[in-house]
Every structure is written in structure tokens, then in C-alpha cells.
């Protein structure tokens, strides 16, 4: 590796499903630019996000801790002062630290996730004119402008914090009248093109940095998050029926304005046309974002800036689009949410990359990996790094994920659909553990699910009843992990799946090799 410490580009594709990237097996040509980048990098087949939604997942990547340890499990959570973030570590180690964020839960809400960034540009929220940009103009007018921006920023931050923390204000913001207003006023999905342009300018031109000072650039893109409004050319390619079918357009309009519907489980399955519409529009957003990323990568490559840059491309979580009668990313811990893309490219002076890593790893280890790449990791942290050959070293034999339901979402559902909360255990924490090809999900004290995620990646067949030994071993491991959390209950008893004797279930078990013909 070069004697000069590498730049670090930490690129989070917010709400990006792994199965919609071509390099992860999507049959559509959705991501040619990410695919080309991945061809010269290491692609992780089984990267697992530590949590199912933005705040806890980002906090895990920024701290190297699971949600139960960093405690950032709610929209109102604040990162404890005694936990040091990745940006704080890198800044203390001499890096210029900059954030380019399109998600208001990371870039606007005052929850501690911005700690350590010398510059932080917001592209969403009521104020998107760079209120947290480091540096002050030397002119009187410039100083006054910076003061004024800070005052406005402080007021807007308090207002947006109030919405994040108040059940009443949250409920108000989900009314049909308010949704279109705040989606527009908050610039909800930010500005992908502008944030990538600003990131490239920092990495290429290096303003406000010292001579030879390395840069840490964190970027969050919201292109694939609801609502779906891709350019027409991408709709033509991936969802052409929406342009020609009035029913499809009406459904999409209702969906885009129904924020509550993004959070709560469905009361019935989507029909084929509705599923086709959501899948097509989501794919169109994926492809449009990939096109913008292609221009971004080309700019960096033409400037020679990728030669000495560690690039991490990942997602904080995925998205349900009707699978298992679920929408969005509030509640479940199924693969649609917690299995995420992870692509890591080392500087050109590093050894040739391992093309694909199949072992299960947690994205919380990106904290240790970046510190290792920059020469700032402790000996203990190095044991969790994915470097030098990007082969995972075993943290244990297990990987965990936690889906603690957002309390304000649960409160809203309790008011609107209390029966649904009870029937789907929406108020219960879900925790999962992976060992080899098996994944165990424990929902509160109520249910156990076991899946062979290698043979059954869609998690359609609960095999807990036929592998009680596996269930017992994984329950003990999960209980040991969860035992550090105050008030978490004892393991539930192994149960026989209620539909085990169903002929279709028997056929599936035979197909997977668990039963003899």
C-alpha cells in the first residue's frame, strides 16, 4: 500500500435491496456501473446489516457495535458520549472528515451521528443550504451569513427533532393533507446528483484540507427510498405499464402519499399488478441512481483519485415490497431487510482482491475495517477487520441482527390498527443469529423461526420443527447475546411448526433435502 494513507469513501445506498443489483444476481440490467466497479473489488455475498432501519444500522457502522450496545434503537435516541464514532477516530488521526447526507435521520436530527465530521452537508430537511459546512468566510458579510445560517439551522433542527420525538406530531405528519407538503418541503429524498458532485469536488480538488491530508468522505444516497419518482426514461424501461395503465398510476399515487402504508404490515397480499408496479418503479430508481454513480466513479477515476482510495459501497438495510405481507423496513428481520450489498475496493497498490466472499459477516465490522485500512485500529479492532485480503476473520461463529421496533411507529399503529399489532407482534423485538447456512429468528417470547438461507433465501419454509438440535444451539447463542439487554426474556420453547404436516410444506422439505421422498 502507498506510504501515504488512503482516502476513504464510505458510500451508503440507503434502502438498497441486494437482489436488485445485477452483480448479486438480478436478471435485469439494473446496475451496470456498480457491476463494473464490483468487478475490480471484493463482493460480499452474505453481508448482514446489524439492524433493519436507518438509525441503528448507521450507528453500528459508525461505532462497530450492535444496536443493543450502542443503544441507538429509536428515532429519539442519542448516541452516548462515551462511545467514539468512526469520524471522531479518523479526525483525531489526522483525516479531514466530511459528510454528504440525503437522509434527515442521519444528517438533520441531532442524535450524535454527525459527531466527528468537520464538514457535513445536508441535502434534505427544511434547510438544505449547507448549514453545518465547516469554515468561515473572513469577510464581515461572510461571517454574518454563517451566523445567520447557524441560527436558522438551530431552529430547524429543533423543529425536526420535535417531529422525530413526538407521537402527536408524527401522526399529524402522516395525514393526507400533510404528506405532499412535507415531502416537498423536506426535500425528502435529498439530491443525489448534487451530493455526488460535491463529494467528487472534495476528493478531487481538496479544498480546506492541509497538504497531503487524507480525506474521509461519508455519503448517504436516498434514491431507492420511497416515494418513487424516477425519470420517465427509466419508467419506460422498467415499469412501462405505469405510463399506459391508469389503474397502475392511481395505485402508485396512493402508495407514494400513504406514508403510514410504508410502515405497517399489509392486511392482505398485494395483487399481481400492484406488485409489478412497485417492483418496476423500485427497479427504475435503482437504475437511475446507478447511472449517477457511474458518472461519479468516472470523475474520480479520470482524476486519478481512486488509486489511493479505500471505497466501501454498502446499504444500511433493504426494503419489503409486499413480501410476507410487509412493506417498508420498520419491523421485520427477514433477508429482504437485513441482507445487504457490500463491495469493498482497496487502493491500487494493495494485493489483488478476493473477488467474492461467501461467509456471513456483519456490516458493523466496517468500523474496524476502515480503522485498519487507515492505520488507526487497535490490536483488538484488527481482529474484526476485513483486511488485508478482505477475507473475513471469525469474530465468532455467529453473526447477529436486531430489529427493535421504532416505538413511535408502534404507537401510531396501536391507535389505527391495534389488532394488527397483536396479530403480527409488531411491538415485539426480533433478533436473529446466523450459523453456517442456518438463520434463527426469535420474536419476543412468542415465536421461533429457522431457515436454511442457502437453499431457501426467501425464507419461505420454517424448518424449526425438524431440526430441534439446531434450534436449541442457536437459541442458546442468541440468548447469551441478548442476555446483556435489561429485561429481555428467556428463550421460547422449541415448537412444532403449525403447518408442518401440510402436503405443500412436506414437498418443500423434500426439495430442500430435509425429508426423504
Which CATH number characterizes residue 446's domain?
3.30.1120.10
- Same domain for 499 and 359, yes or no, is no
The CA distance from 457 to 437, in Å, is: 10
d(CA 91, CA 499) in angstroms, rounded, equals 55
User: Grid coordinates representing 145?
Assistant: 451569513
Q: Per the domain annotation, does 422 fall within a domain?
A: no
Q: Is residue 442 a contact partner of residue 491, using CB atoms and an 8 Å limit?
A: yes
Q: Which residue has the cell 444516497?
A: 221
The answer to the question of residue 507 being in a domain is yes
DSSP H helical segments within 398-467, as ranges? 407-416, 418-423
Q: What letters, b where the CB count within 10 A reaches 16 and e where it falls short, cover 369-400?
A: bbbbbbebbeeebeebbbbeebebeeeeebbb
Residues 348, 41: Cα–Cα separation, whole Å: 10
| Whether the Cβ atoms of residue 218 and residue 8 lie closer than 8 Å to each other | no
Helix (H, G, I), strand (E, B), or coil: what is residue 171?
helix
Query: Three-state SS for 98?
Result: strand
Residue 443 and residue 360 share a domain: no
71 and 172 fall within a common domain: yes
- Mark whether 164 and 231 lie in a shared domain: yes
pTM reported for the whole predicted model: 0.87
Shared domain for 480 and 354, answered yes or no, is no
Q: Are 445 and 495 in contact (CB under 8 A)?
A: no
**Neighbouring C-beta atoms of residue 484, cutoff 10 Å:** 10
Q: How far apart are CA 103 and CA 407, in angstroms?
A: 20
Neighbours of 128 (CB within 10 A): 20
Question: Do residue 105 and residue 52 come from a single domain?
Answer: yes
Residues 374, 165: Cα–Cα separation, whole Å? 37
Residue after which a domain boundary falls, among 386, 403, 420: 403
> Is there a single domain that holds both residue 117 and residue 234?
yes
Domain identity same for 23 and 94: yes
* CA 127 – CA 125 distance, rounded (Å): 5
Q: What is the pLDDT of residue 75?
A: 87
Query: Are 369 and 461 within one domain?
Result: no
Q: Residue 371 and residue 176: Cα distance in Å, rounded?
A: 46
Whether residue 208 is contained in a domain is answered as yes
> Whole-angstrom Cα distance, residue 184 to residue 126?
9
Separate counts of helices (H) and strands (E) for the chain:
21, 14
Residue 198, in any domain of the structure: yes
What is the structure's pLDDT at 166?
62
Pairing status of strand 447-452 against strand 438-443: antiparallel
414 part of a folded domain: no
Each residue's pLDDT expressed in tens, for the chain with a length of 517 residues: 345 899 999 999 999 999 999 999 999 999 999 999 999 999 999 999 999 999 999 999 999 999 999 999 998 899 999 999 999 999 999 999 999 999 988 988 889 999 999 999 989 865 554 444 433 334 555 455 555 455 545 555 565 555 555 665 555 555 655 666 656 655 678 999 999 999 999 999 999 899 899 999 999 999 999 999 999 999 999 999 999 999 999 999 999 988 889 999 999 999 999 999 999 999 999 999 999 999 999 999 999 999 999 999 999 999 999 999 999 999 999 999 999 999 999 998 888 888 999 999 999 999 999 999 999 999 999 999 988 655 556 555 689 999 999 998 999 999 999 999 999 999 999 999 999 899 999 999 879 999 999 999 999 999 999 999 999 999 999 988 877 543 333 333 333 444 545 566 556 545 555 445 5
The total number of structural domains in the chain stands at 2
Q: Is residue 409 part of a domain?
A: no
Domain finish residue from 403, 418, 439: 403
Query: Where among 403, 436, 466 does a domain terminate?
Result: 403
| 434 and 366 together in one domain | no
- What are all long-range contacts of 417-426, with beta carbons under 8 Å and residues at least 24 apart? 417/264, 417/267, 420/264, 420/265, 420/267, 424/265, 424/331, 426/264, 426/265, 426/331
d(CA 397, CA 69): 19
pLDDT of residue 136: 38
Q: Within 10 Å of residue 178's Cβ, how many Cβ atoms?
A: 15
Q: Which residue has the cell 446496475?
A: 31
Q: Which domain holds residue 327?
A: 7-403
Q: What is the pLDDT of residue 164?
A: 56
Phi, psi at residue 475, to the nearest 5°?
-65, -45
The residues facing 361 across adjacent strands are 47
Rounded to whole angstroms, the Cα distance separating 483 from 269 reads: 36
Strand pairing partners for 97?
216
Q: Which pLDDT belongs to residue 110?
A: 85
Could you tell me if 111 and 259 lie in one domain?
yes
Q: Note whether 317 and 201 are same-domain residues.
A: yes
Domain CATH code at residue 14? 3.40.720.10
Q: Does 416 reside within a domain?
A: no
279 domain-assigned:
yes
Amino acid at each position: 500500500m502507498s506510504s501515504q494513507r488512503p482516502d476513504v469513501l464510505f458510500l451508503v445506498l440507503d434502502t438498497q435491496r441486494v437482489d436488485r443489483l445485477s452483480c448479486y444476481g438480478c436478471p435485469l440490467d439494473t446496475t451496470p456501473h456498480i457491476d463494473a466497479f464490483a468487478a475490480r473489488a471484493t463482493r460480499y455475498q452474505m453481508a448482514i446489516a446489524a439492524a433493519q432501519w436507518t438509525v441503528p444500522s448507521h450507528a453500528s457502522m459508525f461505532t462497530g457495535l450492535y444496536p443493543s450496545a450502542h443503544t441507538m434503537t429509536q428515532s429519539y435516541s442519542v448516541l452516548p458520549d462515551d462511545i467514539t464514532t468512526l469520524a471522531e477516530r479518523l479526525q483525531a488521526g489526522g483525516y479531514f472528515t466530511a459528510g454528504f447526507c440525503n437522509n434527515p435521520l442521519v444528517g438533520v436530527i441531532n442524535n450524535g451521528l454527525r459527531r466527528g465530521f468537520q464538514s457535513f452537508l445536508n441535502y434534505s430537511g427544511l434547510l438544505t443550504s449547507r448549514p453545518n459546512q465547516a469554515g468561515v468566510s473572513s469577510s464581515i458579510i461572510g461571517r454574518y451569513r454563517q451566523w445567520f445560517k447557524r441560527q436558522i439551522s438551530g431552529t430547524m433542527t429543533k423543529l425536526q427533532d420535535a417531529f422525530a420525538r413526538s407521537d402527536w406530531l408524527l401522526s399529524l405528519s402522516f395525514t393526507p393533507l400533510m404528506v405532499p407538503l412535507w415531502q416537498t418541503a423536506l426535500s425528502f429524498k435529498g439530491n443525489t446528483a448534487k451530493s455526488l458532485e460535491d463529494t467528487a469536488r472534495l476528493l478531487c480538488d481538496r479544498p480546506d484540507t492541509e497538504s497531503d491530508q487524507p480525506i474521509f468522505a461519508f455519503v448517504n444516497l436516498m434514491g431507492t427510498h420511497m416515494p418513487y419518482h424516477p425519470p420517465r426514461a427509466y419508467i419506460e424501461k422498467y415499469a412501462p405499464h405505469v405510463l399506459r395503465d391508469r389503474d397502475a398510476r392511481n395505485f402508485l399515487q396512493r402508495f407514494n402519499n400513504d406514508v403510514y402504508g410504508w410502515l405497517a404490515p399489509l392486511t392482505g397480499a398485494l395483487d399481481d399488478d400492484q406488485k409489478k408496479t412497485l417492483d418496476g418503479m423500485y427497479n427504475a430508481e435503482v437504475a437511475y441512481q446507478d447511472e449517477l454513480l457511474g458518472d461519479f466513479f468516472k470523475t474520480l477515476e479520470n482524476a486519478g483519485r481512486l488509486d489511493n482510495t479505500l471505497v466501501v459501497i454498502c446499504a444500511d438495510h433493504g426494503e419489503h415490497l409486499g413480501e410476507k405481507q410487509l412493506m417498508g423496513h420498520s419491523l421485520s428481520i427477514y433477508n429482504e431487510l437485513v441482507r445487504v450489498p457490500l463491495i469493498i475496493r482497496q487502493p491500487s497498490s494493495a494485493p489483488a482482491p478476493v473477488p467474492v466472499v461467501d461467509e456471513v459477516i456483519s456490516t458493523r465490522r466496517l468500523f474496524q475495517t476502515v480503522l485498519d485500512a487507515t492505520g488507526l485500529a487497535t490490536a483488538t479492532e484488527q481482529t474484526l477487520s476485513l483486511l488485508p485480503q478482505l477475507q473475513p476473520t471469525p469474530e465468532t461463529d455467529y453473526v447477529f441482527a436486531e430489529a427493535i421496533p421504532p416505538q413511535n411507529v408502534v404507537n401510531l399503529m396501536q391507535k389505527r390498527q391495534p389488532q394488527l399489532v397483536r396479530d403480527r407482534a409488531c411491538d415485539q423485538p426480533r433478533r436473529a443469529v446466523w450459523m453456517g447456512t442456518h438463520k434463527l429468528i426469535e420474536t419476543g417470547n412468542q415465536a421461533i423461526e429457522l431457515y436454511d438461507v442457502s437453499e431457501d433465501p426467501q425464507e419461505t419454509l420454517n424448518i424449526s420443527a425438524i431440526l430441534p438440535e439446531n434450534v436449541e444451539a442457536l437459541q442458546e447463542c442468541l440468548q447469551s447475546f441478548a442476555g446483556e439487554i435489561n429485561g429481555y426474556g428467556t428463550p421460547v420453547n422449541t415448537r412444532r411448526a403449525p403447518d408442518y404436516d401440510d402436503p405443500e410444506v412436506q414437498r418443500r422439505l423434500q426439495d430442500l433435502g430435509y425429508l426423504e421422498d
